[in-house]
């Protein structure tokens, strides 16, 4: 180490000159050294010795950017070297990604594991758009929503947020056909006087108000009021979900300062028979059909019989 310092510093005495002369070329061992390899610190005297050294030791002749440097020796030059190394790694990674994309274009949902692809498709068949967060996010870590391909059903993770409190509850494995009434009822049972949700427990469940965002992005995204006596599957239709549903619970006396959108049920609901099997939908419930009127014999004879199609809600005249 002392020899390296004396070599870098200007010669100021005869003793320093003698020490420098004693450092011979490590390749030929005949002449005084003039150069030091930045890769392995081998000293050499000429270009021929430098080439011979590289050929003998297979040394690239470049300084290693990943070797350990003590904190006492860390300076601005080493900091700049580390920065350049990170930039080179970033450029190499981006170049590899672009090359891979050109050679093998990614199909849809390929960035998700297979079970998440199935879950996303199953939610889409239920008119629910499901979005996923990148790894490491807390909501992603808490999400245990799964799709069972055998039963063709989704078990959701539900997050309950109670307004004006810091209480956040999670329910895992809630079947999509479960009524929200039974899911929230177990959390609002009568408890002690210091229960954090005592105000909500004192209210009747029918008087509480439940809301869910129609689109999770944006501070002014509209909410939709949900019916806790309906199934979770029906309430998540036409809603964008980020990882798992988040339901906001309000007391009846509290006022909310956001837009509320109420979905109107259509009387004439068209059901595509072709997709009824593939979209995992059961038989339609809650669809209003026109009641058949009983007419007298005279009217029956004077008018042509009509056939009412229950699947399409259309009336066809019989072919004579």
Tens of pLDDT along 187-197?
888 767 667 88
Cβ burial, residue 244 (10 Å; 0-12/13-18/19+): buried
Q: Mean pLDDT, to the nearest integer, of 80-84?
A: 91
What's the distance, CA 45 to chain centroid?
59
Residues 36 and 97 in one domain: no
Residues 246 and 146 in one domain: yes
Residue 62 above 60 pLDDT? yes
Residues 175 and 237 in one domain: yes
Q: Mean pLDDT, to the nearest integer, of 134-147?
A: 86
Residues 163 and 232 in one domain: yes
**Alpha helices (H) in 105-219, listed in sequence order:** 114-125, 138-142, 180-185, 198-202
Residue 69 lies in a domain: no
Residue 125 lies in a domain: yes
Residues 38 and 174 in one domain: no
Residues 239 and 146 in one domain: yes
Residue 68 lies in a domain: no
Of the pLDDT bands very low, low, confident and very high (cuts 50, 70, 90), residue 304 is very low
Residues 149 and 254 in one domain: yes
Residue 257 lies in a domain: yes
Cα–Cα distance measured from residue 139 to residue 133, given in angstroms and rounded to the nearest whole number: 8
Residues 203 and 133 in one domain: yes
Residue 27 above 50 pLDDT? yes
Of the pLDDT bands very low, low, confident and very high (cuts 50, 70, 90), residue 282 is low
Q: Mean pLDDT, to the nearest integer, of 176-181?
A: 88
Residues 99 and 123 in one domain: no
Residues 41 and 163 in one domain: no
Residues 237 and 185 in one domain: yes
Q: What residues contact residue 7 under an 8 Å CB cut-off, 6+ apart?
A: 20, 23, 36
Q: What residues make up the domain containing 93?
A: 79-103
Q: How many domains does the chain fold into?
A: 3
Residue 149 lies in a domain: yes
Residue 268 lies in a domain: no
Residues 204 and 130 in one domain: yes
Q: Give the pTM.
A: 0.50
Residue 127 lies in a domain: yes
């Amino acid at each position: 180490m002392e020899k390296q310092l004396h070599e870098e510093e200007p010669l100021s005495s005869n003793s320093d000159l003698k020490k420098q002369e004693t450092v011979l070329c490590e390749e030929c061992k005949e002449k005084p050294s003039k150069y030091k390899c930045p890769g392995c610190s081998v000293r050499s005297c000429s270009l021929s010795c430098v080439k011979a050294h590289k050929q003998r030791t297979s040394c690239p002749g470049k300084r290693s950017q990943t070797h350990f440097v003590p904190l006492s020796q860390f300076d601005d030059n080493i900091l700049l070297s580390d920065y350049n190394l990170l930039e080179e790694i970033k450029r190499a990674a981006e170049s590899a990604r672009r090359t891979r994309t050109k050679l093998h274009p990614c199909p849809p949902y390929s960035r998700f594991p297979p079970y998440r692809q199935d879950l996303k498709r199953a939610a889409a068949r239920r008119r629910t758009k499901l979005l996923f967060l990148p790894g490491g996010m807390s909501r992603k870590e808490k999400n245990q929503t799964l799709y069972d391909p055998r039963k063709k059903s989704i078990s959701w993770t539900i997050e309950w947020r109670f307004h004006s409190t810091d209480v956040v509850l999670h329910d895992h494995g809630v079947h999509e056909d479960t009524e929200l009434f039974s899911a929230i009822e177990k959390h609002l049972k009568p408890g002690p006087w210091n229960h954090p949700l005592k105000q909500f427990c004192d209210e009747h469940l029918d008087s509480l108000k439940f809301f869910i965002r129609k689109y999770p992005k944006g501070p002014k995204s509209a909410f939709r009021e949900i019916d806790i006596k309906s199934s979770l599957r029906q309430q998540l239709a036409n809603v964008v979900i980020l990882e798992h549903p988040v339901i906001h619970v309000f007391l009846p006396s509290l006022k909310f300062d956001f837009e509320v959108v109420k979905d109107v049920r259509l009387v004439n609901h068209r059901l595509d028979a072709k997709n009824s099997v593939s979209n995992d939908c059961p038989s339609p419930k809650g669809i209003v059909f026109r009641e058949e009127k009983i007419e007298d014999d005279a009217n029956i004879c004077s008018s042509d019989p009509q056939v009412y199609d229950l699947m399409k809600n259309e009336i066809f005249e019989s072919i004579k």
